[in-house]
Amino acid sequence: MSRLKTTHDVFSAIGEPKRRLLIEQLVIKEMTVNELVDIFDWSQPTVSKHLGVLKKVKIVSERKEGRFRYYRIQPDELRPIQEWMHQFEKYWGSTMDQLDNYLNQIQVKGIDSEH
Amino acid sequence: MSRLKTTHDVFSAIGEPKRRLLIEQLVIKEMTVNELVDIFDWSQPTVSKHLGVLKKVKIVSERKEGRFRYYRIQPDELRPIQEWMHQFEKYWGSTMDQLDNYLNQIQVKGIDSEH
DNA sequence: TTGACATATTCCGATATAGGAATATGATAG
DNA sequence: CTATCATATTCCTATATCGGAATATGTCAA
């Protein structure tokens, strides 16, 4: 009766803490499953399964090399999150806003100095 | 045997599509439960429950006025997400990066003009 | 070719979650 | 004070999710 979503989207994929940790590692450089197992001290199936979720939503891609599989981040897939966050930036005076303000100041100065 | 997290954090809270929609409305202006019910055409308990989750993680706050309850966004609570996203910005050339580059240019110019 | 290695997959049990329906709570109007 | 309105809460069911354990798959090395 209750209709629940089956496919993970990017937002729910990063809802899982372990997956965020995996992402934080893979954004540094591509790594194999066992390297991640060693770093986090999780079971190999746990790592593989979470990578599977991230792969399904395209946050990571896979490169096979012999019996190893190197996983890496695909940052573009995370842009929807960044774009969604935009709506809040005006409230908290983000770095972007600060730069934006700075930019406006510069422009005003520029216009002034033309007179 | 399996230890799963019980408390929602901000990241998992925005993993739910309906909750993101609620947030998108409430960021515009504070609203009551029934206003949200009318906008989305969801059941009242559905709206109240999702607001409950958002309230628990402090993404929204509640203001009681008679029998109404006005909900509003607390943008600061979403900053951890924005900050977490920072690690990817260098890859996709965000607006912030563009402004940052611009800022660097300006600074260089400024230093130059001092000589 | 066979054994060891790297990784994926399957099966299972415990818990979490979303939504519906019904009901409870609390406040106001009349 | 009582009926109604606004909202929360409880109970239930279906499904999703995570992790462990065991096993399957595929590849290399000796």
Q: Could you give the percent of chain B with pLDDT greater than 90? A: 70
The whole-chain average pLDDT of chain B stands at 85
A101 CA to D16 C1' in angstroms comes to: 45
pLDDT band for B92, please (50, 70, 90 cuts): confident
C-alpha distances (whole Å) from A43 to each of A5, A17, A46, A63, B4 are 28, 16, 5, 21, 15
d(CA B102, CA B81): 25
Q: Which of A15, A94, A106 is opposite residue B15, by nearest beta carbon?
A: A15
Digit-coded pLDDT (tens) for B43-78: 999 999 999 999 999 999 999 999 999 999 999 999
Pairwise CA distance, residues B93 & A113, whole Å:
31
- pLDDT at residue A95, rounded to an integer: 60
Q: Which of A13, A52, A20 is nearest to A33 (CA)?
A: A52
**Partner residue opposite A12 with nearest CB, options B15, B89, B103:** B15
Residue B14, pLDDT score: 95
User: Measured between alpha carbons, how far is B66 from A97 in angstroms, rounded to an integer?
Assistant: 37
Closest nucleotide (CA of B1 to C1')? C14
Q: Name, in order, each residue with C-beta under 8 angstroms of A58's C-beta and a sequence gap of 6 or more.
A: A74, A77
Is A54 within 8 Å of A61 (Cβ atoms)?
A: no
Residue B91 confidence (pLDDT): 86
Q: Average pLDDT for consecutive 10-residue bins of chain A (115 residues)?
A: 58 96 97 98 98 97 97 96 91 64 58 46
Domains in chain A, CATH or no CATH each? 10-73 (1.10.10.10), 78-113 (no CATH)
CA distance B86 to chain A (A): 9
**Residue of B26, B42, B61, B81 to mutate, interface with A, max A Cβ within 10 Å:** B81
> Do the Cβ atoms of A11 and B14 come within 8 Å?
yes
Is the pLDDT at B98 greater than 80, yes or no?
no
Smallest CA–CA distance from A97 into chain B, residue? B96
Q: What is the pLDDT of residue B81?
A: 96
Put simply, the answer to whether A17 touches B24 (Cβ < 8 Å) is no
Amino acid at B36: L
Q: Answer whether any strand C atom is within 7 A of the Cβ of B40.
A: no
> A56-65, B1-10, B91-100: which has the highest mean pLDDT?
A56-65
Give every CB contact of residue B11 below 8 A, 6+ residues apart in sequence. Answer: A14, A15, A17, A20, B80, B81, B84
> Higher model confidence: residue B13 or residue A114?
B13
A88 close to B75: Cβ distance less than 8 angstroms:
yes
D25 closest protein residue (CA to C1')? A67
Name the residue with higher pLDDT: A44 or B97.
A44
Nucleotides of D under 7 A from a protein CB: 5-10, 13-22, 26-28
